[in-house]
């Protein structure tokens, strides 16, 4: 079992997910998801998980050492978050979202074969690496969804009841997303202590992670006190998401970031 077989596994997984999604249209009259659809979603997710297991056995070590291997974990873990969200809270959109992100990562892995053996530097060889990044991926996905809902709620043509509904959905997304980015920031701090000796150094990446966390924290409290102020809440979420994007992708453009130790990530 080697990386050569991976495109087949990836294709099979995406096929299962695609069929599962298509089958939900067949069963669109149902209120709960049909077992066939859920089965297809599960099957696709198991295919990716199965590849990791087989790769692990053939390498005789945990596949956590190369760039390609870590990206594979993102693609493997995201579907399970979505499946959990579906079973626990009946949130279909989150499942579709997670599966879309997983598909994206599978595509990234397949199209970057040079990363399969590209090795991770010693600082990244830690059991904290994958949990820290995956938890953040899920959190970011949820916040992206919340921002989309907020933009939807800001659309001038939309009715008041739609705007209200958007607020409620956005709130739910942010509640779950905030838990994830909180856990992500904590994992980062615990990892930093074992790697660098300090759990927090106000490194630009850390500072912006704090800023992102803090803006969503303010949003949550604003919504507690002003649940009727939908438009302000929606604008807040857009600003919060911009902060998130700066933290995730925009650091290299900031003057402060030339001195960051996080420049290897991504």
Partner 1 sequence: MPDPRRTPAPVATPSAAPGFWQFPWGYGQALALASGMMTVGFLLEVMLHAHGAVPAPGWPVNGILLVVFTAGLILPATRLRTDPIIQWLSDVPMAIVATGLVTALALIGGIVPQTTPEQTGLLVKLGFNDVFHGWPFILSMLLFLSVLGLVVIKKIVRFQWKTLPSLLNHLGLWLAFAAAFFGSADMRTLTLQVREGNTVAHAVDQAQKFHELPFAVHLKEFNLEYYPLTLSVQAMSGEPSPDRSASPVLIQKEHTTELGNWMIEVLEYHPHSLWVGKTYEPVYTPGAFPAARIKARNRISGAETEGWISCGSATFPPRALDLVEARVQMDPPQPRTFQSQVTLLRPDGQTQDRSIEVNHPVSIAGWRLYQYAYDRNAGPWSTYSVFQAVQDPWLPAVYGGLLMLLAGALLRLVSGQKKNQDVRS
Applying CB under 8 A, the residues found at the interface with partner 1 are 3, 88-89, 113-114, 116-119, 121-123, 125-126, 168, 171-172, 175-176, 178-180, 182-183, 186, 189-190, 193-200, 202, 204, 207-208, 210-211, 214-215, 217-218, 220-225, 227, 254-256, 258-259
Of the pair 82, 204, the CB lying nearest partner 1 is at 204
Of the pair 39, 262, the CB lying nearest partner 1 is at 262
* Minimum distance from residue 36 beta carbon to partner 1 (Å): 26
Of the pair 157, 160, the CB lying nearest partner 1 is at 160
Write the DSSP string, 115-163. GSSPBPPGGG-STTHHHHHHHHHHHHHHHHHHHHHHHHHH-TTS-HHHH
Of the pair 26, 127, the CB lying nearest partner 1 is at 127
Length, in residues, of the chain: 266
Of the pair 46, 64, the CB lying nearest partner 1 is at 64
Q: Are the C-beta atoms of residues 155 and 221 closer than 8 Å to each other?
A: no
Tokens standing for residue 252: 């290299």
Closest listed residue to residue 241, CA positions, set 167, 146, 175: 146
Burial pattern 116-126, b for ≥16 Cβ within 10 A else e, equals: beeebeeebee
Of the pair 258, 265, the CB lying nearest partner 1 is at 258
Report the alpha-carbon distance of residue 34 to residue 83 in Å, rounded. 13
Report the alpha-carbon distance of residue 266 to residue 34 in Å, rounded. 37
* Minimum distance from residue 43 beta carbon to partner 1 (Å): 26
* Minimum distance from residue 169 beta carbon to partner 1 (Å): 11
Of the pair 166, 171, the CB lying nearest partner 1 is at 171
Of the pair 31, 228, the CB lying nearest partner 1 is at 228
Closest listed residue to residue 9, CA positions, set 106, 91, 149, 100: 106
Tokens standing for residue 173: 């997304």
Tokens standing for residue 140: 């970011």
* Minimum distance from residue 124 beta carbon to partner 1 (Å): 9
* Minimum distance from residue 26 beta carbon to partner 1 (Å): 28
* Minimum distance from residue 156 beta carbon to partner 1 (Å): 25
* Minimum distance from residue 74 beta carbon to partner 1 (Å): 19
- Residue 132's contacts (CB-CB under 8 Å, 6 or more residues apart) are 184, 187, 188, 191
Burial pattern 72-109, b for ≥16 Cβ within 10 A else e, equals: bbbbbbbbbbbbebbeeeebbebbbbbbebbbebbeeb
* Minimum distance from residue 170 beta carbon to partner 1 (Å): 11
């Amino acid at each position: 079992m080697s990386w050569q077989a991976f495109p087949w596994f990836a294709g099979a997984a995406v096929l299962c997910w695609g069929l599962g999604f298509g089958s939900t249209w067949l069963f669109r009259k149902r209120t709960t998801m049909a077992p066939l659809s859920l089965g297809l979603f599960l099957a696709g997710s198991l295919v990716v998980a199965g590849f990791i297991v087989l790769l692990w056995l053939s390498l005789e070590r945990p596949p956590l050492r190369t760039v390609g291997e870590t990206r594979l974990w993102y693609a493997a873990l995201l579907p399970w978050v979505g499946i959990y969200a579906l079973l626990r809270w009946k949130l279909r959109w989150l499942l579709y979202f997670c599966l879309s992100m997983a598909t994206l990562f599978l595509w990234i892995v397949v199209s970057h074969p040079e990363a399969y053996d590209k090795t991770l530097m010693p600082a990244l060889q830690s059991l904290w690496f994958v949990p820290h990044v995956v938890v953040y991926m899920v959190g970011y996905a949820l916040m992206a969804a919340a921002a989309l809902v907020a933009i939807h709620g800001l659309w001038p043509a939309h009715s008041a009841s739609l705007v209200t509904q958007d607020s409620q959905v956005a709130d739910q997304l942010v509640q779950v997303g905030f838990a994830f980015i909180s856990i992500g920031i904590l994992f980062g701090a615990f990892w930093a202590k074992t790697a660098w000796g300090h759990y927090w150094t106000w490194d630009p990446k850390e500072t912006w992670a704090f800023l992102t966390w803090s803006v969503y924290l303010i949003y949550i409290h604003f919504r507690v006190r002003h649940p009727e102020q939908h438009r302000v809440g929606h604008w807040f979420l857009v600003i919060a998401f911009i902060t998130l994007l700066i933290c995730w992708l925009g650091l290299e453009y900031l003057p402060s970031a030339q001195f960051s130790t996080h420049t290897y990530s991504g």
